Structure 1
């Protein structure tokens, strides 16, 4: 699938993607990309977040590919059963937090409750760092298996955000390009 053939919906995590974050950079570079804005970035309401994602998918004019980071991965998985069948063609899931089992997960994220374990109804790629403070590699592998996602270890990359040195994140863009070619 070509970028021009899809609406790329970028889903930032808790606190939004600040200046220099790879998601913001991608949104600026991709003509068909848009950041899905949440009403409350710092004290998220799980129902509001999932409703906002579902509405963004419904309003998209073309097929959709989702790019989620951190807590937005959990919101996407919770929203997925509500998507119109066949509209979402794929998803890149980067650094999902283990909100159930990781004591370092932000308290605000715990409101999202139990992480769904049903397979996603579209192809996906889950990318996790060996040193993510919010999700152990084993937990991420469990998520990938449950969701039917391809799994990629990003090495020593922290939470794959600006704080861990990932502004432009060209490796991620390459993974996203490969995912798009597969769709």
Structure 2
């Protein structure tokens, strides 16, 4: 009789502890958003752009409201970009990224980021890499950017550099042909998200906000929460 009582009491206490643990975990997730550890996000803009353009300020504000440290880098001379100058800046600004980091890059910022990761003697592992309208080959109508695509990329190294790689593009991109973005995704063995009628994801294409990108980032964060 006593054994049955003790057994019932143990089951009851175990159940209560389990429920409390779950409630604490859920409340922490809801309170702080899908945040894992001390995650930080860095945004790398593209050609003829700045931290205040397009969807960059919106994304920064959305993420910071969730308690995620977010920075949009300012790269030198974006109207006449120099690959070496951009690499120096990225080396200074991205040197601090680690397994708690997600990097979001747009257009020319994609190949610049890949060139930086490729140049590292010691592999750097980050939680996620999101490339919007990216490319790794010359753009037919923009020969002035060819200097960024002359690096021999080690794709096996880059594939291992991030826990998750997502490539976003639009078949109606009039600046970076969609087949170049598909090539990028293929070489990185990345998941590609195709968003029709979105152009180059510029403010002039209606992208002062970018909720689809925020969803992609949320999914990376949720995966990190489950895996960790």
TM-score computed with the length of structure 1 as normaliser: 0.85
Residue 50 of structure 1 corresponds to 87
1:41 aligns with 2:78: yes
> Which residue matches 1:143?
184
Counterpart secondary structure, 1:126 = strand
Tell me the equivalent position of 1:90: 128
Where structure 1 has 5 or more consecutive residues not aligned to the other structure, the ranges are none
Q: CA deviation at 1:13?
A: 0.4
Cα distance in 1 between the residues matched to 2:126 and 2:92 = 13
Please point out which of 161, 165, 170 is paired with 1:129: 170
1:139-160: CA deviations, max 9, x gaps? 2222111112211111111001
Q: CA deviation at 1:173?
A: 1.2
The number of aligned residues is 181
Q: CA deviation at 1:38?
A: 1.3
> Secondary structure of the residue that 1:29 maps to in structure 2?
helix
Structure 2's unaligned 5+ residue stretches are 1-33
What is the deviation of 1:107? Answer: 3.6
**Does 56-65 or 136-145 show the bigger shift?**
56-65
CA contact (8 A) 1:99 1:109 kept: no
Distance 1:83 1:52, change over 3 A: farther
* Residue in 1 that maps onto 2:40: 7
Following superposition, the deviation at residue 180 of structure 1 comes to: 2.4
Q: Which of 92, 98, 109 is the equivalent residue of 2:145?
A: 109
Confirm or deny: 8 A CA contact 1:6 1:63 kept in the other structure: yes
CA RMSD between the two structures? 2.4
Residue 105 (structure 2) aligned to one of 63, 68, 71: 68
Find out whether 1:29 has 2:62 as its counterpart: yes
Residue of structure 1 equivalent to 2:204: 163
Larger radius of gyration: 2
Q: 2:194 aligns with which of 142, 145, 153?
A: 153
Q: Could you tell me which residue of structure 1 aligns to residue 49 of structure 2?
A: 16
Deviation at 1:130, TM superposition (A): 0.8
Between Structure 1 and Structure 2, the one with more helix by share is 2
Q: Quote the Cα distance in structure 2 between the aligned partners of 1:87 and 1:138.
A: 28
Deviation of 1:22 (Å): 1.0
Q: What TM-score results when the alignment is normalised by the length of structure 2? A: 0.70
**Aligned equivalents of 1:71 and 1:112: distance in 2?**
8
Higher relative contact order, structure no. (Cα contacts within 8 Å, ≥ 6 residues apart): 1
